[in-house]
Structure 1
């Protein structure tokens, strides 16, 4: 394929890729109404397409690997990849729903589990872990072979508050921390209490995990995944956290971020390698702004960003003395995101969108704004240097998914 060539997949719906060789930029194009919100897992972008199908695109080369057959009312935004299979929730409008597994290399259906009371899912090596976390029912959990759909083990707890995966180990918050072997369900250890940070199926290869204990003695603990033992503990001043009811979010650089939606407050602490957390800043909205955060605040680099219910973006530099101040999303060329309603935090950029445009921000400065003409289009960061977003060409009756440069917004048309 030439550096700016096109590749057509003989399937329905017709999908076309335009890619730039060696630069990681590409655009997937299809007839209007075809493309849905992408999901990134590893080096693959999974794109819902019309007819209840899912297309798999190589994230770097911009090559369509496969397009699945029609599934039964899939929910691709919640898919996971485990042991060579892509497992997709299906029949989500029914109770109970089900799951369908696709071959990660070809997209062929491997197995279908049509009815399951378990509605949460995580990948643990070659095992798919299914569980429920409803308040009304007993917490059930099971391990399923990713390639065959065979149930390997089942277990039950009074309630499952959170699940975190480390390799082939499943760490539960079930009235106390405990770890299960993902293939056998055997309990490996039972140690400690609190809230798992980075939970709800988050995977990772690190030998560590973090837990939070609030209340009168607020502490953040770093624990070993193979034993559950606390390797280090950082204490937080109780008075500084009196306005925050949620556990913090882990932020790069050994920091944590506390955010209170209705309290309109944010606090950032440094906690790596210290016994007592060090406050780095506590920005909040002005009392004169009669609104609150629509979602918890996010941290990118040394800046904190928060979106309000009035569709306004606010920002503050960590360590600065200023409050969260409104940041007008206006690019150097004058293009504007007028009413931002979605934000997505990447490693180095914040991406913002509204009903017809998308923007990138770094260090409190708007880098670019691009018109999209697509409603409900949250950008998806792809590593530190690229971003995915959709656009529509009404005149040509085409939908497009762009893999663009995060810093400049450059994309292929």
Structure 2
């Protein structure tokens, strides 16, 4: 009797883990078989594993199914997990087919080199929010150990990349993180290059690992802002642009504010938009630039400079038409500030003058001694466009722009 009971217990234990047959798995994987070209298992046996999301045991068989795709002459190869959930009493019930990855036969997955070359064209889009917080990349984005290629069509593929970086946690410190980036590429035709991308950090907790955290004061974190990808890449681009523009015009060293005003006036009247921008990069004071940069105008300064360039060179009435080559200039000093001067350049019309405030400013220190030079700390450029309006494109260190309406006739010279 005791022997018989032991045999029954063994049989019950064996039955509790009864697994679906190969025929059952194949039937659940391919359904009615429409469009199926071939089928095979990835391994001879399946895996029994715990699913923490459902709170149940599941049995998984890996399969590969080749099917006809909706695109003539192109087959789709799908890597799938056929999943069964434990139902008790020794049985499993079919739950779902989980697509692991897929590929189109004859269409290769993009290579690491191809991906890197494409995503590097638009780092802000690739990094998204983290573009303004990442201060250090431990390595370039690379394909994950398991990329999980998913082709949504011959013109769209999704995959995973792995990252390791330091980034700013606001008001707290710098965090080091390893994580997975989900990337999707798009194109118009399989024979054409990739055209667009979408990328974001995986929200799956198992894909993200915090490796460390260093706390810093808000003042220290403000200095780290100058190390972010956004700042450093923009600075590199701006330095390259400034270097190229500097070849277009030579800006001399100025001893007097009047010299600077006459020089800028000459460029406004006889130069090009590119030359004017090159000059402004060299004569504007620190207040016009992003903190920590000598070549990146702030967003507002950049926009207003663009407005000024349009008003001066591209509108129906230009700066050259309203200002003489040797105009009348009015110079006013600022009280007890001997180096600050307001300079007004008069046009041929009343109430239509250009103004500069120029002062000797501190540009930094060398061996503990301040280095100063004359610089524009505010300016206003007036170009009248019609009988009803005078457009005043004015710039200042405070970053304000004004538009006033003044009734007056137009005089072209």
Q: TM-score, normalised by structure 1?
A: 0.19
More strand by share: 1
Structure of greater Rg: 2
* Structure holding more helix per residue: 2
